[in-house]
Structure 1
């Protein structure tokens, strides 16, 4: 899963800032969690549950 580059400048001039929060609808949040779970399952298939 490719990562996006962090962009933006902090309001206090501290350099680049990263906002790890996502603001989505309930259905989009469910899709996001399912995508994360699927990718984690690929990394550790012996411990993945379906």
Structure 2
């Protein structure tokens, strides 16, 4: 009975951890994509100046 009570709580915990991780990964991916675009623009500007 005790394990039966514990199981849903454990499941919820895992679910929330996965959700937190997924949102973190999603957030960092967005930041990374933005940074990559920004960096690409900077590099192209630099090459335009060099030319």
**TM-score band w.r.t. shorter chain:** 0.3 to 0.5
- Ranked by relative contact order (alpha carbons within 8 Å, sequence separation 6 or more), the top structure is 1
TM-score of the two chains, using structure 1 as the length reference: 0.41
